Structure 1
Amino acid sequence: MTSQFTASQSVELAVPEQPIPIQHYLRQPQRLVHAIADPNLIEQLSPEQFRLKMRPLNFLSLTFQPRVILKVWADVNGTVHLRSVDCDIPGLDYINQRFTLEVKGKLYPEQQQNTTRLKGKADLKVRVDIPFPLSMTPQPIIETTGNGLLKSVLLRIKQKLMHQLLLDYRQWANADHQTLAQPKSQQLAPADNPTI
């Protein structure tokens, strides 16, 4: 029995003014990835691709921990796009072969009078063949459980984003601003891997 689950989540937050506009910050998508996920669960595969190990998920009597490869990039307008490229579930071969996960999202700054707001939306879709004996569970219960699980995943990401992204942006903007304000003789060479 194949089931499909979906969830969407929107986000909007006011951006406190900093020495450097947030559009410059958003051109470094790797910082966004570290704002929405535990850095210990992220492996950078290329400048735009990241393998993200999700936290363990519980679905009916199954516990599994998907790994998702995300492509994250920024366009010239400062909009950050996020899209899943691949996924797998280590250790559960039966489900792994019958499981697809799609995530897509975007985050962009918008000027409103004298303030900047960040707006975004993420959509998550999962298709999976439910194995026996879980397939004996009534379909409405499976759908409600699956949709609720995806909604909780997106909500956790949203909460982390709202807190962590503005905190990281403030630290980045002020550290960068101080460096730019120093005489050249006092400036240090930038680190290859800034601490997130």
Structure 2
Amino acid sequence: MSEVVAGFFAPCQQNYFVCRGENFSNGKWQVKLKKAELQCHAIFKSKPKPKKYLVSNELTVKPATYSARISTDIPLYETPQALFDEYLDDKPRIFNAMFPDKHRSQRLNQNEWRIQMLPLQLLVLNVWPVVDLRLRCKSRGGDYPPEVPPDITKVLELDIPRWELQGLDNVVDPSHFTLIVKGTLYPDRRGNKSRLRGHLEMSISFVLPPALALIPENVRDSLGKGVMTKLVENMKQKVDGSLLEDYSKFKRERSNKLV
């Protein structure tokens, strides 16, 4: 190491000793010294600088996306005095049937409610989303989603226009998290018997923390898809169970009014 340091400064020392043999009175000493300084400066300046390499961690930038889609197709027993179309018009009732826990919901306006959802477990993360759920009714084929036939009399659309995360600021950047939920529900009377049909799609996308990025991709995908499938199946049970149960109650109420 000492040899390297001595060799590095050798050119400057050599010029300095040459200067001592000159006449100091004629100002050549100053000139020689400046030349030596310039030579030293040039040596320092010309020494190649180490290259800087920018390393980007693609695992922490590329978002992981997990989605699931499920359909509903079950018998629908209507009565002339209590058609399912009329039941769909009562959006507050529809919402309360699907989300009966009033302590975790708040009505925002005629079509929207804010819900504090139960924690969603994604891999080893627990996500606490607060979502704004919007319910809209459409009829006579007006602006129906692609999966709904145009001759359906009425369709209920479900989507989440806004949401936020709680409790994960130090783990998942909210700006790197996306939640999409879209659903439809409608009566189908095109066959011999009425049927209740619907589609529900949920998608979650987020940038993995560095620790999770080390998990093999096939393992992450398998776990993520499993969680998403379970979530949409739970929501489907709310429709197939709670909603149809409340519709039966709606039919009884209509029948009692006619008596």
**TM class by shorter-chain length?**
0.7 to 0.9
Aligned length, in residue pairs: 181
Q: Which moved more, 1:97-106 or 1:14-23?
A: 14-23
Displacement after TM superposition at 1:115 (Å)? 2.2
- 1:99-138 alignment runs, 5 A limit: 99-138=177-216
Identity across aligned pairs (percent)?
Answer: 25
Counterpart-to-counterpart distance in 1, 2:100 and 2:231:
13
Displacement after TM superposition at 1:113 (Å)? 4.2
Counterpart-to-counterpart distance in 1, 2:207 and 2:121:
16
Return the structure number with greater helix share.
2
Contact 1:106 1:121 in 2 (8 A): yes
Q: Which moved more, 1:75-84 or 1:111-120?
A: 111-120
Contact 1:73 1:81 in 2 (8 A): yes
Return the structure number with greater strand share.
1
Contact 1:24 1:78 in 2 (8 A): no
1:80 to 127, 133, 156: 156
Unaligned runs of 5+ in 2: 1-59, 140-152
Q: Does 1:50 align with 2:113?
A: yes
Q: Does 1:31 align with 2:78?
A: no
TM-score (norm 2): 0.65
Moved over 4 A (4+): none
Unaligned runs of 5+ in 1: 183-196
Contact 1:12 1:120 in 2 (8 A): yes
Counterpart-to-counterpart distance in 2, 1:87 and 1:141:
28
Displacement after TM superposition at 1:114 (Å)? 4.3
Higher relative contact order (CA 8 A, sep 6+): 1
Between structure 1 and structure 2, the one with the greater Rg is 2
Counterpart-to-counterpart distance in 1, 2:219 and 2:191:
46
**Alignment RMSD (CA, Å):** 1.7
TM-score (norm 1): 0.85
Q: What's the counterpart of residue 78 of structure 2?
A: 17
